[in-house]
Chain A
Amino acid sequence: MSHKTVLYAKHVEYNGKIVDFAGWMMPVNYGSQVDEHHQVRNDAGMFDVSHMTIIDIVGERVTEFLQYLLANDVARLTTPGKALYSCMLNQNGGVIDDLIVYYMRDDWFRMVVNAATRDKDLAWLQQQAESFALELIERAETAMIAVQGPQARKKAMQALPVDVVEAAAELERFFGCDCGEWFVGRTGYTGEDGFEIMVPESEAAALWDRLSDAGVKPCGLGARDTLRLEAGMNLYGSDMTEDTTPLVSGLGWTVAWEPVSRDFIGRRALEAQREAGVPQKLVGLILDDRGVLRGHQKVVVENVGEGEITSGTFSPSLKKSIALARVPKATGDSCQVEIRGKLLDARVVRPVFVRDGKPVV
């Protein structure tokens, strides 16, 4: 049942330790997860993200469709190549997936969704798109490499084909450019600058080697997780699911309430939750004591109630443990976390720990 990306042989060649991730045989590290983490914070690292699903949505009514499908509003995208982060909700306001959508042309948007949710996402898209006469084209023949870090763009330029370099050099943050069969987005999941490069499968292995020659080091899913958590970026399935709304998941900023006339899927449920009072919030936790915060540990807030850690890890940049946690709305700036039967004090902070290589807490 395990799928392999077109770069699987490269992972083995570069001594990747392979694990099963959502049915994909992916490298968790190539030696040291912590070294790879620092490589991205200080220099440049690359991740194979070919397991993620790229879907082109094409047709005259595509804008209208996405305005109905997504909680964020694609009408905010007025310049070709601009990217938007959004949740895709069910009727109850629960999160089916989080995704990035690029505005390519008036009749063409490109969407990147999670690997673990591919099947249900495609089924949902097809079901919702039925009356819009659209074409949904999965770009399974396209590999994707994320190059991230302060030196990522400079080093990637040395590895990209000349015509792609020209377009990529001009990119502002959160924009992408279509270069024929290639596509480069100035996006990522690490809190660092960089590119996400979509490349035809036949050219992916050669690009990987050229990036390596340019000094970009391979990094596995382990470092990807500590990097995204330090950056305060949610992980689907851990920090939000179909049973939680964006409003209790730290993603209220991605819901476009205006214009009020836009009737997106889940809107009524979100409005009802907002009117009734949002019961919880997603916060950052820092453990100053020794120990490691992990997903599902219980959070106790004195005189307020209880919550739960949704993602936790040891932060290689801060050298202490950090977490995202869903806690009662009235939680102040401290709480306790139960670790192996003991209650340890933790600080409650805005859930961004590191940005552009610098601690922000």
Chain B
Amino acid sequence: MSEVPAELRYTKSHEWVREEDDGTITVGITDHAQGLLGDLVFVELPEVGADMAVDDACCVIESVKAASDVYMPISGEIVEVNELLNDEPEIINSSPFDDGWIFKVQPSAEQELDNLMDADAYQSEIED
């Protein structure tokens, strides 16, 4: 069974979103997603300072098997990326919700958060 932390919000494309106290949003991919991808070997991080719209493909993660895009769960500016992933992309496999976070966004349209799923909705999404 994949882990689905209750305090996060989720997208259909398997990103998770955490609202931080400083108003930024941390984004990663879910335990379910890393399980589907298998051993990760490469992450092409977005550029800090880039302005992106919701649903834009902003980052590529590659497993031994395949490459897949990470999509913006919300519009905004990329303010920080997890540089650790350059050398150790497998952190996403071992710790998808903590050490394996991918980037932080300063949201430009916070109401978009309301379109995301809560843990229960995501749980039933991945059970289908």
Are A34 and B39 within 8 A (Cβ)?
yes
Q: Is B122 an interface residue (CB 8 A)?
A: no
Q: Is A237 an interface residue (CB 8 A)?
A: no
Residues in chain B near residue A290, CB distance under 8 A: 42, 86
Residues in chain A near residue B42, CB distance under 8 A: 290-292, 314, 321
Q: Is A313 an interface residue (CB 8 A)?
A: yes
Question: Given A292-B62, A314-B62, A340-B60, are A32 and B38 also a contact pair (CB < 8 Å)?
Answer: yes
Which residue of chain B has its CB nearest to the CB of A314? B41
Docked Cα-Cα span, A33 to B35, in Å, equals 11
- 0/1 per residue, A220-232, Cβ < 8 Å to B? 0010001000000
Residues in chain A near residue B39, CB distance under 8 A: 32-34
Docked Cα-Cα span, A185 to B80, in Å, equals 55
Q: Is B64 an interface residue (CB 8 A)?
A: yes
Count of inter-chain pairs, beta carbons less than 8 A = 35
> Is the interface on chain A under 10, 10 to 19, 20 to 34, or 35 or more residues?
10 to 19
Are B67 and A294 within 8 A (Cβ)?
yes
Which residue of chain B has its CB nearest to the CB of A220? B38
Residues in chain B near residue A32, CB distance under 8 A: 38-39
Docked Cα-Cα span, A36 to B44, in Å, equals 25
Are A316 and B60 within 8 A (Cβ)?
no
Docked Cα-Cα span, A294 to B64, in Å, equals 10
Docked Cα-Cα span, A25 to B16, in Å, equals 31
Could you list which residues of chain B lie within 8 angstroms of chain A, going by C-beta atoms? 38-39, 41-42, 44, 60, 62, 64-67, 86
22 A-B residue pairs with Cβ-Cβ distance under 8 Å, sorted by A, are A32-B38, A32-B39, A33-B38, A33-B64, A33-B65, A34-B39, A34-B64, A222-B38, A226-B64, A290-B42, A291-B42, A292-B41, A292-B62, A292-B67, A294-B66, A294-B67, A313-B64, A314-B41, A314-B42, A314-B62, A316-B64, A321-B42
Known: A222-B64, A292-B41, A292-B42. 8 other contacts (CB 8 A): A32-B38, A33-B65, A34-B39, A222-B38, A222-B65, A292-B67, A294-B66, A313-B64
Minimum-distance CB pairs A-B, first 6: A314-B41, A34-B39, A292-B62, A314-B64, A33-B64, A292-B42
